């Protein structure tokens, strides 16, 4: 249950998926996650940072430049995300979706 409590929304799992390929800026994540509001994205990122799954790097530049990336703990979650994707594909095949 700890795992479900840490990634308790589809957005968190999708953020982790997007960060699997490397560091991303907030604007990239917002575009990639169709339908997410800025408020929900910010809250999800703050929660993932607080829980040690995502790292936030502020480059302290003008204009502001912040990047998010997976921590070592976040990288260890990637096989679980992949298994969830595979199970979803299997489910769609079985149910002809």
> How far is residue 62's CA from residue 38's CA, in Å, rounded to a whole number?
21
pLDDT tens digits, 40-70: 999 999 999 999 999 999 998 888 889 999 9
Q: Which residue has the higher pLDDT, 26 or 97?
A: 26
Give pTM, 2 decimals. 0.88
Average pLDDT over residues 22-28: 95
Enumerate the domain spans of the chain. Answer: 2-94
Is the pLDDT at 39 greater than 90? The verdict is: yes
Hey, what CATH class is 2-94 in?
Answer: mainly alpha
pLDDT tens digits, 1-12: 788 778 888 899
């Amino acid at each position: 249950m700890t795992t479900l409590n840490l990634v308790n929304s589809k957005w968190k799992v999708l953020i982790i998926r997007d960060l699997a390929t490397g560091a991303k800026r907030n604007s990239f994540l917002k575009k990639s996650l169709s339908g997410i509001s800025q408020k929900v994205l910010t809250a999800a990122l703050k929660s993932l940072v607080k829980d040690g799954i995502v790292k936030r790097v502020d480059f302290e530049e003008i204009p502001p430049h912040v990047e998010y990336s997976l921590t070592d703990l976040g990288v260890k979650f990637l096989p679980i995300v992949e298994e969830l994707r595979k199970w979803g594909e299997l489910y769609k095949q079985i149910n002809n979706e």
